[in-house]
Amino acid sequence: MPESQLEQTVLRKAAWRLLPLMCACYVAAFLDRVNVGFAKLSMASDLGLSTTAYATGAGIFFIGYFFFEVPSNLLMERVGARMWIARIMITWGLISAGMMFVTGEWAFYVLRFLLGAAEAGFFPGMILYNTYWFPRAHRARTVSIFMTAAVFSFVVGGPLSGWLLDHPQLGLRNWQWLFLVEGVPSVVLGFVVLLLLPNGPRDAKWLKPEEKEWLTGVLDAERAAQEKKKHFTLRMALSDWKVLVLGAIYFLNVVGG
């Protein structure tokens, strides 16, 4: 099989096997991140939370998220993507569902912080995982496909959250029902990841030996070439004007969002 045809076959297999599950996980992540906004009216009223307290709790999520992103990726490199991503999803799903037990201001703050810490490694972990499978020339496409899941989550999450708030069950308040139901998919998908997501090409049963050899060879060659370049430190990253400009763009994008 010519290399161009082999490349096309291998990357198509990887995309169809991995991207749908990765996107489903990202949809679940965004549901659990933003449902606190939908729950606000009834939750704040039931618990007697002021607007300031509620907004503080919503923002505390990103403190945990900020501090645990990099350590999470370092741990993923050590323990393996399958186990670590599954751990992230199951943990954040349980914490998100646990929001139904909030009884006051400080419990709200603590659980929001823990939710941010639990979810922190998911997005950077998925971007890192992308490098385990797709050569450099193909990564922009696969990352962009993965990131469309965040937009799709708003399309699904808004109507779903509204419907859940209008139809509480089990004697729960509507915001409790919302947190419970929307936390469950993350836990379920965590176990799906544990069963189906390979750590890398060498663990993929759906790749033929020659396909594994080609893909690992290409990726190993790219990593070797990267390692020969000058070591890029954190200080260098934070003083690089391109990094700073991209950071400012993303900051403003998130503020607008």
User: What is the C-alpha separation between 185 and 48, in angstroms, rounded?
Assistant: 29
Which residue range is the domain that position 216 belongs to? 3-256
The predicted pLDDT at position 20 comes to 95
The predicted pLDDT at position 145 comes to 93
- pTM confidence score: 0.85
User: What is the C-alpha separation between 64 and 68, in angstroms, rounded?
Assistant: 6
The predicted pLDDT at position 230 comes to 64
User: What is the C-alpha separation between 15 and 151, in angstroms, rounded?
Assistant: 19
User: What is the C-alpha separation between 37 and 214, in angstroms, rounded?
Assistant: 47
Tokens 């959250």, residue located: 161
User: What is the C-alpha separation between 162 and 175, in angstroms, rounded?
Assistant: 10
**Contact of 73 with 125, CB cutoff 8 Å:** yes
End-to-end CA distance of the chain: 47
User: What is the C-alpha separation between 5 and 122, in angstroms, rounded?
Assistant: 33
Q: Which amino acid is at 6?
A: L
The predicted pLDDT at position 233 comes to 76
CATH number of the domain residue 219 falls in? 1.20.1250.20
Domain count, the chain: 1
pLDDT means over runs of 10, the chain (257 residues): 77 94 91 84 89 89 86 88 93 93 92 91 91 92 91 85 91 93 93 93 91 91 77 80 92 84
The closest of 96, 94, 101 to 157, measured between CA atoms, is 96
User: What is the C-alpha separation between 200 and 204, in angstroms, rounded?
Assistant: 7
**Contact of 61 with 82, CB cutoff 8 Å:** no
